[in-house]
Structure 1
Amino acid sequence: MVSGLLLYLLEVMEVLAEQRQQQILDMLASRQVVKLKDICQQTNCSASSARRDLQLLEDQGALVRIHGGAKAKHDLQRELDMTGKSTQNVSAKDKIAQLAVAKIADQEVIFLDAGTTTLAMVRYLQQKQHLTVVTNGVLHASQLADQGIRTILVGGMLKNTTKAIVGTKAVRDLQHYRFNKVFLGANGVHDEYGLTTPDPEEAAVKQAAFAQAEETFVLADGSKFEAVSFVKISDLEQATIITTDLSRAVFDKYSRQTNILEV
């Protein structure tokens, strides 16, 4: 009787653990980064149970544990299309975009790469006077033109998924310009591997813009930290990172290598 009850309880505990683990994966799918306290609150479990779940899921390759929680595990070459990217971390991107635009002075020449966070900047650029904006983002160029902002779209090959202009012509075009400020997105921000992105051709465009800038800003929400993608864009110290929602430990770790502006 006792052994049967014990077996039943163990089965129940196993089912509950599986349900918690699925909830954790569902949370990561929508947020990319989850904190331990949020897991405990949402699944009504103890911190020790949540840590065991995270360890098991990491062992299975489903996530990566970080200080105080976990982040989604990404394929080095995986990249969402513009529609997929535009639905992620919308509030954080908007806050980052507003701070980025605050760094721009009237009459400056700037470059915006073809990312969703730089796209969020466009609506706020109308606050500035007599800007010239160079971009490799087709959506960016269209929205800038709608606002009457002087816009230069570099030439080259259109990448259908991200609506970015890439290729050797885009790189050559950028080499003819100088920028007061350059604003780039990055898929990964890592203390050892630097700033990274999945696509070599988009990386080449980012690097070309980087080389022509007086000052470069990388726009990256908290989910990009500790992540690594396929191609390196630059070392951390070469750019100022504008971000949001970093833990104190992560902020302290990365601010030793580069300037971080946190919303």
Structure 2
Amino acid sequence: MNSRQQAILQYVNDIRRVSVADLARNTGVSEVTIRQDLNLLEKRNYLKRIHGYAVALESDDVDARMMINFTLKQKLAAYAASLVNDGETIFIENGSTNALLARYLAERKRVTLVTVSTYIAHLLKETDCDVILMGGLYQKRSETMVGPLTRQCIQQVYFNKAFLGIDGFHSETGFTGRDMMRADI
């Protein structure tokens, strides 16, 4: 994905529904080029196209959410990684920022990672990092484990630090989550 396509995706996710004409105006390219970009982004399941518009997806898919605020997520992951010391056991819950954190830690630190995310476990398969994947009820769309068995597994493991995913934050309501089963974990 090139920088223009990243900017388009970010804008669509911020505004939720954007016309092809507005995207062309904002990026300085033709509507034909925008349509080609939108076709590619839709093919990769990053957004949905409807006649003359691009619409943001409401998705649990980690890959789809990864590109939303990608630069900020990279900075958050790098900062979180700076809080981790070699030799620690770290719990990392599901989420796109947490996936970046897990990859960052696996490549730069000597740690053991405990996770409920099959996405994160798969992401780390080529690293030297030890990964402990907790069992439970598998949520296919979010690629994570949930439920009482998962909670029981987590209670049996000691870890030095935990990094949890959230779906949103508002200054009045605090941290929010869309899925009660994942929030329970």
Which of 182, 189, 196 does residue 169 from structure 2 map onto? 189
| 2:127 is aligned with 1:147 | yes
Q: Distance in 2 between matches of 1:111 and 1:173?
A: 12
8 Å CA contact 1:79–1:198 kept in 2: the answer is no
TM-score for both structures, normalised by structure 1: 0.48
SS class of match (1:162): coil
Equivalences for residues 93-108 of structure 1 within 5 A? 93-108=73-88
Rounded to whole Å, the distance in 1 between the matches of 2:10 and 2:66 is 18
**Structure-2 separation of matches of 1:86 and 1:200:** 21
Tell me the distance in 2 between the aligned counterparts of 1:165 and 1:175. 14
* Compared CA separation, residues 191 and 84, structure 1 to 2 (3 A): same
Question: What is residue 12 of structure 2 aligned with on the other side?
Answer: 29
Secondary structure, aligned partner of 2:86: coil
Partner of 2:109: 128
- TM-score, normalised on structure 2? 0.67
Q: Which has the larger radius of gyration?
A: 1
The AA in structure 2 aligned to 1:82 is V
Q: Which moved more, 1:84-93 or 1:105-114?
A: 84-93
Q: Report Cα offsets for 1:124-178 as digits up to 9, x if no partner.
A: 212112x111001102112223202111100011111110111111111111123
After TM superposition, give the deviation of residue 98 of structure 1 in Å.
1.1
Structure 1 residue aligned with 2:98, among 113, 118, 122?
A: 118
Q: Secondary structure at the residue paired with 1:141?
A: helix
Once the two structures are superposed, residues 73-92 of structure 1 have per-residue CA deviations (whole angstroms, 9 ceiling, x without a partner) of x9xxx544223212212121
Structure 1 segments (4+ residues) deviating >6 Å: none
Query: How many aligned positions are there?
Result: 141
Which residue does the alignment assign to 1:70?
none
Describe the superposition over 1:80-120 as per-residue Cα deviations: whole angstroms up to 9, x where unpaired: 42232122121211121111111100111111111010101
Unaligned runs of 5+ in 1: 1-25, 34-40, 43-73, 206-263
Give the deviation of 1:189 after TM superposition.
Answer: 1.4
Question: Matched residue of 2:138: which SS?
Answer: strand
Question: Partners of 1:165 and 1:32 in 2: how far apart?
Answer: 31
> Is the deviation greater in 165-174 or in 188-197?
188-197
Structure 1 pair 32–166 and aligned structure 2 pair: CA distance change class (3 A): farther
Q: Structure 1 79/185 Cα, relative in aligned 2: closer, same or farther at 3 Å?
A: same
